[in-house]
């Protein structure tokens, strides 16, 4: 029987958002201002502690000038 590994998608998405934000030289507060999402929620999203929906994800992607893209499962 094949053993499956549970992947923390919230953490993976949060890491991707944090990386995109920092590569653009933005603070969480600046991203908050650009999206209208509370800075504390940005922090929770980046920390993988927030179950982000497509609406918030779209606002973040637009502010970071990124596209939402789906790939194979991230490595654990």
Q: Is residue 3 one of the residues assigned to a domain?
A: no
What is the b/e burial string over 11-42, where b = at least 16 CB atoms within 10 angstroms of the residue's CB?
eebbebbbebbeeeebebeebbeebebeeebb
Tokens describing residue 62: 């637009």
pLDDT of residue 2: 60
Is the whole model's pTM more than 0.75, yes or no? yes
List pLDDT tens digits, range 59-72: 999 999 999 887 66
Does some domain include residue 53? Answer: yes
Examine residue 16 and state whether it is found in any structural domain, yes or no: yes
Are residues 25 and 65 in contact, defined by beta-carbon separation less than 8 angstroms?
no
Mean pLDDT of the chain: 89
Helix (H) or strand (E) holding 39: helix 39-46
Note whether residue 76 is domain-resident: no
Q: State how many domains the chain has.
A: 1
In a domain, 45, yes or no: yes
pLDDT of residue 8: 83
Query: Range of 22's domain?
Result: 9-63
């Amino acid at each position: 029987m094949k053993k499956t590994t549970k992947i923390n998608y919230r953490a993976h998405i949060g890491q991707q958002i944090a990386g995109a934000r920092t590569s653009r030289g933005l603070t969480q507060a600046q991203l908050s201002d650009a999206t209208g999402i509370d800075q504390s929620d940005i922090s929770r999203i980046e920390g993988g502690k927030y179950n982000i929906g497509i609406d918030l994800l779209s606002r973040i992607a637009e502010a970071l000038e990124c596209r939402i893209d789906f790939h194979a499962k991230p490595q654990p």
